[in-house]
Amino acid sequence: MSRSDNDDRGQSAPDPPHTGVILDSIGDGVFTVDTDWHITSFNAAAERITGIDRDEALGCRCWEVLRASVCESDCPLAYTRETGQPVSGKTLYIVNSEGERVPISISTALLQDEEGRVTGGVETFRDLTVLDTLRSELEGRHRFCDMVSKNERMQRIFEILPEVAASGSTVLIQGESGTGKEMVARAIHDRSDRAEGPMVEVNCGALPDNLLESELFGHRAGAFTDARQDRRGRFAQAEGGTIFLDEVGEMSSRLQVSLLRVLEQGTYQPLGAEERLKADVRVLAATNRDLTEMVDEGSFRRDLYYRIKVVSISLPPLRERREDIPLLIDHFIERFRRLQDTDIRGVSPEALRVLMNHDFPGNVRELENIIEHAFVLCPGDEIQPQHLPPELTDGADGGEEHSGMTLEEAEHHHIEQTLRRHGGNREAAADELGIHRTTLWRKMKKHGIEPNRADPTG
């Protein structure tokens, strides 16, 4: 469409050139299209954001100029044309004249003549590049390796972790279960000069004393019954890298002596061996117990305590960093969305209110499990209170039915009940669950759900 056509279309305005000046003074990009999608006006901000001159844009189809990520599949202006409903603040990407992706926020509306006939559409778009950059920088300040937090105490930990990692010193990480002690240990290892070596984790509370000693230091054939061959222990496996001793407060007094010798002399002795082996290993330890109190009680050696806490890091529980809950929710949603390929994008205000009021005795790990639980039950794109574990929603509908279930059991139950509601119709059940029919079939096979079991008549 020619520029003169564009001028004719604007006759209802008292002074078209003045209107153009006003549009050019706006910081947002603005363009209009006729009923055949030809661009009929294109302001100065639209030129700047797209890198395309007005003279080039006028008369072209809008998708030839904008080259947006939704042009072929989910065009907001097409939606407005079809439904009459405006779109406001939809974020997407366009490709500018240099081939660069530009984040924008767009809004749309219909153009109508004096008699109410649709004559085209108008779209405004705002360049979000600066905002996107600031958001990335902000996220960077709130992130260290795979940990996210804007809590002041956690931020101080993030600040010192690079120096702690570079030091090579033994580190004691303290905090309640689920606060992320193993993640801190992994971050220290990954940022250290031992990052190319292995990181070996040992839960000192998971094995009885005699097995833990063999697990840590290895044994020679014949050292005890059933020791038919030599076995390398975890210290040997961690050679050149890091060993992470979780729940170190659970060690017996005898093993505490052995660990103290490793830290003091840099050597250890496999069970049944005569020689001592050199340990080129950095030791990181963690506990959810109060080692100071254990030292005073005599159940943990004072000399070992000072050896393992050359550097001490204390992680606050989640109930003391509630400002991190929304940040962590977004973090976990993004992770599970990538892993499970779902459309879930966030939580409703009501669900967020429930989560913000919870004390999280299981801390960050509990929150992660809650979000995973919600991913099993949520069929749409937003997690609602009914998708949260029943103990959080204080006896909401269906709470008793799922109480005490594991995630696997909850998923099994939810799928089976959905299939029953639809008489065993997998396509209808998949639609309600918000997953593809082949995904539902795969989950049915995993849980051993036969079609006739889901059919109320079967």
268-319 pLDDT, tens digit each: 888 877 788 899 999 999 999 999 999 999 999 999 999 999 999 999 999 9
| Residue 173 belongs to a domain | yes
Q: How far is CA 269 from the centre of its chain?
A: 43
Q: What is the CATH number of the domain that holds 362?
A: 1.10.8.60
Q: Is the pLDDT of residue 432 over 60?
A: yes
More confident residue, 145 or 243: 243
Q: What percent of the chain has pLDDT over 90?
A: 43
- What is the structure's pLDDT at 13? 41
Q: Is residue 136 part of a domain?
A: no
If you search the block for the tokens 């992470």, which residue do you land on? 244
- One domain, residues 172 and 309: yes
**What is the DSSP-derived secondary structure letter of residue 357?**
T
Q: Which domain holds residue 392?
A: 319-454
135 in a structural domain: no
Tens digits of residue pLDDT in 169-198: 999 999 999 999 999 999 999 999 999 999
pLDDT in the model for residue 79: 87
pLDDT band at 445 (very low <50, low <70, confident <90, very high): confident
* pLDDT bracket for residue 232 (50, 70, 90): confident
Residues 150, 113, single domain; the answer is: no
| Average pLDDT of the chain, as a whole number | 83
* Whether residue 160 sits in one domain with residue 110: no
**Span of 7-16, 23-32, 336-345, 413-422 with lowest mean pLDDT:** 7-16
Contact 109, 288 (CB under 8 A): no
Nearest alpha-carbon partner for 420 in 428, 411, 408: 428
The predicted model gives 86-112 an average pLDDT of 84
DSSP assignment of 294-334, as one string? HHHHTSS-HHHHHHHTSEEEEPPPGGG-GGGHHHHHHHHHH
Residue 162 and residue 110 share a domain: no
Show which of 316, 338, 370 is a domain's final residue: 316
106 torsion bin: left (phi>0), alpha (psi -120 to 50), beta (else): beta
The domain total for the chain is 3
122 and 209 assigned to the same domain: no
Q: What is the pLDDT of residue 19?
A: 54
As a whole-number percent, the residues of the chain with pLDDT over 70 amount to 83
The domain boundary, picked from 94, 128, 162, lies at: 128
User: Is 28 in the same domain as 121?
Assistant: yes
Average pLDDT of span 437-447: 79
pTM assigned to the model = 0.59
> Containing H/E element for 223?
none
Same domain, 118 and 149: no
Instruction: Report whether pLDDT(410) > 80.
Output: no
Residue that wins the pLDDT comparison between 132 and 357 = 357
Q: Are residues 291 and 158 part of one domain?
A: yes
Distance (Å, whole) CA 276 – CA 210: 19
Give the pLDDT of residue 227.
64
Give yes or no for residue 17 having a pLDDT over 70: no
Instruction: Judge whether 133 lies within some domain.
Output: no
Residue where a domain terminates, one of 64, 96, 128: 128
One domain for residues 216 and 296 = yes
Cross-strand partners of 219: 231, 271
Q: Which residues contact 422 (CB under 8 A, 6 or more apart)?
A: 428, 429, 432
Flag whether 134 is in a domain.
no
Residue closest to 125 by CA, chosen among 72, 60, 52, 73 = 52
Clarify whether residues 238 and 172 are in a common domain.
yes
Which range of 103-112, 284-293, 408-417, 420-429 scores highest in mean pLDDT? It is: 284-293
Residues 435 and 410 in one domain: yes
Pair (22, 120) in one structural domain:
yes
Within a domain: 266: yes
